[in-house]
A = this chain, B = another copy of it.
Amino acid sequence: MTETHSETSLRRPVTLDDVARHAGVSQPTASRVLNGSTRKVNDAFRERVLAAASELGYTANLSAQAVARGSSRTIALVISGISDPYFSAMAAAIMRQAESVGLRVSIAVTDRRSDRELDLVREIRGQQPLAIILAGTGFLAPHPVDALVEELRRYEETGGRVVLVSRSDLPFETVAFDNYEGARQLARGVAGLGYRSYLLLGSGTALLGMQQRIDGFVQGLADEGVQVAADRIIYPEFSWDGARRAIESLDASTLRDVELVFAITDDMALGAIAGLRSRGLSIPGDIAVAGFDDITTLRDIVPSLTTVHVALDAVAEEAIYRATTDDDVLTRKTVPAYPVLRESTPGV
C-alpha cells in the first residue's frame, strides 16, 4: 500500500500464448481469431478466445507481427519539419489519408539537413515500412543525393515503395502540385485586376517546383501582355527572413514603381510584407502582395492574402495510393492548384 506505483507487480505483457492457455485452445487458434484474416474458427472457440483476450487485456505485439509477417502496415513519412504550418498541414493530410486505409504512419523530421535525411532513411529502412514518403522539403544547400538514392534503391529492391511529394530532386515517383499552371492562373488573375508592374521573389536555393512557380507566373503575365524585366525577378534565401531582408535591401527607386510583389510561398510573402511595412509601406494601399500555398493557419492575417490554393488532401490521397499499390505508375502526377484572390490584391 505504501509501495510506490511502478514497483507493483512488474509483470510481462500478456502474450498470445497466455490468451490461448486461458481460453483452453492452441496458440495458432488464438492467433486466427484475434489477428488472422481468413476466418475459419468455430464460434464456441472464437468466443472463448475473445473473452480471454478481453479479460487479460491482450494487445498484439506489433513488432512480433512485423517479424513474423515480414512486413508491417506502416508507412514512413520523412518531412523537413512539423512546426512549419505548411508542412504540418501536409503531414496532417497524409496521416489522415493513411489512417483511412488502415495504415500507421511514422514521422521523421529532417530539419532541412540532408545528412540527417540520409541517416533517417537508413534507419527507416530498418522499420521495414510498406513505403517511404519524402514530402516536399527544400534543403538550404545543394546536397549530394547519391548515397540517398542508393539507400532508397536498396529499399525498393526489397519490395518497398518510394514516393516523393512536392519535390522532384530524386529519380523516384513524384506527386506534385501543378505549380506552373497555378502560378500562371494567379498571374492572369492579378493582371486582370490591372496590375502592370511586378516584383517576383524566387528561391535562392535551386528548387524545381519553386522555379516553376516563377516561370508560370511570368508566362501568365505574358498571356496578358505584361512583360517583367529580368532584374525584377530576385532570388533571396528561401525563407521568411530571406524575403524580408531582400525587400529591405532593395533600393527605393526600384521599389517605387512596383505595384505587386509575388512570392513563391506564403511564408515568403509574409516576410515580404514585414519588409515592406518596415519601409513604411502599407499593404495593399501602397503595394499589393500575393503568395502561394494557401496556408490555412493564415486566416488571421490582415489583409487576407491572395495566394494559390493547393489541394493537400488530393496530394495525400495520391501519395498514399502510390505507396500502397503495386502498379508502376511512373507518370509524374500533378494535382491542380488554383488562385484565390483576396484583400492583399484589391486591384488598382
Report which A residues bind B (CB closer than 8 A). Answer: 4-13, 57, 59-64, 66-67, 70, 72, 81-83, 85, 88-89, 91-92, 95, 99, 104, 106-107, 109, 122-123, 125-128, 150-151, 154, 156-159, 161, 270, 273-274, 277, 296-298, 300-302, 326, 328, 330
Assembled-state Cα–Cα distance A330/B85 (Å): 35
Return A109 CB to nearest CB of chain B, in Å. 6
* Beta-carbon contact of A297 and B297 below 8 Å: yes
A63-B63, A64-B67 known; A156-B5 Cβ under 8 A: yes
B92 touches A296 (CB 8 A): no
**Contacts A64-B67, A158-B12; A88 near B82 (Cβ below 8 A):** yes
Q: Which residue of B lies closest to A106 (CB)?
A: B106
Of the residues B13, B62, B92, B296, contact of A82 by C-beta under 8 Å: B92
Known contacts A57-B151, A159-B10; A92 and B85 CB within 8 A of each other: no
A127 near B62 with CB under 8 A, answer: yes
Smallest CB–CB gap between A170 and chain B, Å? 14
Residue in B67, B95, B151, B273 whose beta carbon sits within 8 Å of that of A63 in the complex: B67
Collect the chain B residues with CB atoms within 8 Å of residue A81's CB: 92
Q: Which residue of B lies closest to A300 (CB)?
A: B270
CB <8 Å contact, B9 and A62: no
Q: Which residue of B lies closest to A89 (CB)?
A: B83
Contacting pair A109 B92 (CB below 8 A): yes
- When distances are taken between beta carbons in the complex, the residues of chain B under 8 Å from A125 are 13, 59
Residue pair B126, A157 in contact (C-beta under 8 Å): no
Contacts of A10 in B (CB 8 A): 157-159
Nearest chain B CB to A321's CB is how many angstroms away? Answer: 15
Give every chain B residue within 8 A of A161 (Cβ-Cβ).
6
A326 touches B128 (CB 8 A): no
Contacting pair B128 A328 (CB below 8 A): no
Complex Cα spacing A301 to B196, Å: 28
Chain B residues with CB under 8 Å of A5's CB are 156, 328, 330
Alpha-carbon distance between A4 and B161 when the two chains are bound, in angstroms: 13
Pairwise interchain contact B63-A127, C-beta atoms closer than 8 A? yes
Given contacts A4-B330, A63-B67, 8 further A-B contacts (CB under 8 A): A9-B157, A13-B158, A57-B154, A62-B63, A63-B128, A83-B92, A107-B107, A270-B300
Q: How far, in whole Å, are A113 and B92 apart by their CA atoms in the complex?
A: 16
7 interchain pairs (CB within 8 A)? A13-B158, A59-B126, A64-B67, A81-B92, A82-B95, A107-B107, A273-B300
